[in-house]
Amino acid sequence: MRSCTQFYIDGQWVDPAIPATADVINPATEAVSGTISLGSAQDVDAAVAAARRAFDAWSHSSVKDRLDLLRAIQAVYARRMQELGEAVSEEMGAPLSLGCGFQVGLGAGHLQTVIEVLETFRFEEQKGPTLIVREPIGVCGLITPWNWPLNQVTVKVFPALATGCTMVLKPPQLAPYSAQILAEIMHEAGTPAGVFNMVQGQGSVIGTALSRHRDVDMISFTGSEPVGIQITKDAADTVKRVGLELGGKSAWVILDDAAMAENVAAATAGMMVNAGQTCSAGSRLLVPRARLDEALAAARSACEGVTVGDPHADVAMGPVVSKAQWTIIQDYIQKGLDEGATLVAGGPGRPEGLTRGFYVKPTVFACTNDAVIAREEIFGPVLVIIAYDDIDDAVAIANDSVFGLGGYVSGQDRDTAIAVARRLRTGAVWVNGGFDFHAPFGGYKHSGNGREWGEHGFHEYLEIKSIVG
């Protein structure tokens, strides 16, 4: 049993102002795996006050001092990677191979990237008679989700730290363990008191208190569109900056060539990674209409090859994070059936042989782009396949969405694939795979605003001052 009953405030582990706890449920077993304290507005006040006190000194710290701290954090993080991965697996159900692999690797990668950017980042620049100075924005409230817990925490905490900001982190209530370990890492590495603070609890309480707080200068939030909208409203009265990375319904365009079936299979398997709980997942797969039957067969075969089960076993997919999420996904699967979408693979209920745990069958539908399951973010292992007539039609379907976070194009002709990518109204497009920690990440339209990752992530936490003359 794990215990997350204290908060990290002003360089110390402290008890909550008002004692209140909640159970944390292991999604693979449905058993209680630990306890978390639920913070209050009083805890937020204490954490923000500590961050405000620490801001003057940390905002004037040297680049060398910040690099020294980041490298010290990196050393402790490397030593505790296995422990972090096991925590991720236990809290949100990722297979150990994913938790101890890519989940933890993302945090390590963002930390290394921040170090690389900070080594050469220009905080001052002379433009004619004007000195342009980039200064830390102040105290930041960082609110993160449960689906990629280390990725979403590290992509906020480390750039804020590198740019001279102080912060209060509000980790996800459903996945608190990895954030607790990260706070221990920050402490062991020697982070100055008040620079990094963490309060666990309910988003409706802690997130609201941070968003409305007059001594918080910025909110960075990753999560659902409705919550992002509410945070923006809550922050409006104090005119603070709000950075949002919200939902997605990303299109994956498969070009008509000899690799079409192979690319469909790869896209289908890719959708099921992390049980489909990825905001930029390619959840709308667009295929040539003339080859729809071939595409459906390839998707069915790939889906049936996705092993589901105990995260400690050799499986490709574990459970989804909670009973509530499982129920939402089941409702969407039933909605697809009720709408008349063609069920290609999977369907309602748990996979065969799994009677306990929040497991979902990897599911594929064929439908049109006006179906509810093609319009709304399901956030589970449910893929929809949509036929297109030609490239113009594919681009029109891909862009016919309120979201614009991610996009994908797969095809043997790279020039054609790049041309399609240029036409997609979305913040990032992956062409034939690839990965880059320095590539800016963020959304168009209802998928949010601002950019994280790499150098662009630094600018989120900086104000610009002009010194003229």
**Measured CA angle at 110 (ends 36, 442), to 5 deg:** 90
Residues 6+ apart with CB under 8 A from 321: 27, 92, 93, 146, 147, 174, 175, 277, 358
Strand duo 130-136 + 462-468: pairing? antiparallel
Q: Which residue of the set 90, 245, 452, 455 is catalytic?
A: 245
Share of the chain above pLDDT 70, in %: 100
For residues 225 and 242, membership in a common domain is answered with yes
| Position 43 in a domain | yes
pLDDT digits (tens, 9 = 90+) for 373-425: 999 999 999 999 999 999 999 999 999 999 999 999 999 999 999 999 999 99
Distance CA 130, CA 382 (A): 53
pLDDT score of 342 = 98
Mean pLDDT of 212-228: 98
Q: Do 32 and 86 belong together in one domain?
A: yes
CATH of residue 390:
3.40.309.10
Asked if residue 395 and residue 451 are part of one domain, the reply reads no
User: Does residue 300 sit in the same domain as residue 363?
Assistant: yes
- Assign residue 452 the CATH number of its domain: 3.40.605.10
Whether residues 461 and 389 share a domain: the answer is: no
Would you say 409 and 388 are in contact if contact means Cβ atoms under 8 Å apart?
Answer: no
Summarize pLDDT for 46-82 with one digit per residue, the tens: 999 999 999 999 999 999 999 999 999 999 999 999 9
On whether residue 442 sits in a domain, the answer given is: no
pLDDT in tens, 360-381: 999 999 999 999 999 999 999 9
Contact status, residue 17 vs residue 4, Cβ threshold 8 Å: no
Residue span of the structural domain in which 283 resides: 251-437
Task: Give me the residue label for tokens 């979201």.
Answer: 403
> Are 258 and 237 contained in the same domain?
no
In a domain, 425, yes or no: yes
The answer to the question of residue 152 being in a domain is yes
Q: What is the mean pLDDT of the chain?
A: 98
Together in a domain, 327 and 433? yes
pLDDT confidence bin for 142, thresholds 50/70/90: very high
Determine, yes or no, domain membership for 62. Answer: yes
Residue 382 lies in a domain: yes
Indicate the pLDDT class of residue 217, thresholds 50, 70 and 90: very high
217 within some domain? yes
The verdict on 105 and 159 lying in the same domain is yes
Q: pLDDT category, 185, cuts 50, 70, 90?
A: very high
Q: Is 262 a catalytic residue?
A: no
DSSP code, position 6: -
Considering the domain architecture, whether residues 240 and 257 belong to the same structural domain is answered as no
pLDDT value at residue 442? 98
Taking the alpha carbons at both ends of the chain, their separation in whole angstroms is: 62
Same domain, yes or no: 217 and 352: no
**How many domains in the chain?**
2
Q: Is residue 131 part of a domain?
A: yes
Percent of residues, the chain, with pLDDT higher than 90: 100
Whether the CB-CB separation of 282 and 263 falls below 8 Å is answered with no
Let me know whether 370 and 336 are in one domain. Answer: yes
Q: How many other C-beta atoms lie within 10 A of the C-beta of residue 355?
A: 7
Give mean pLDDT, residues 336-365: 98
Same domain, 278 and 359: yes
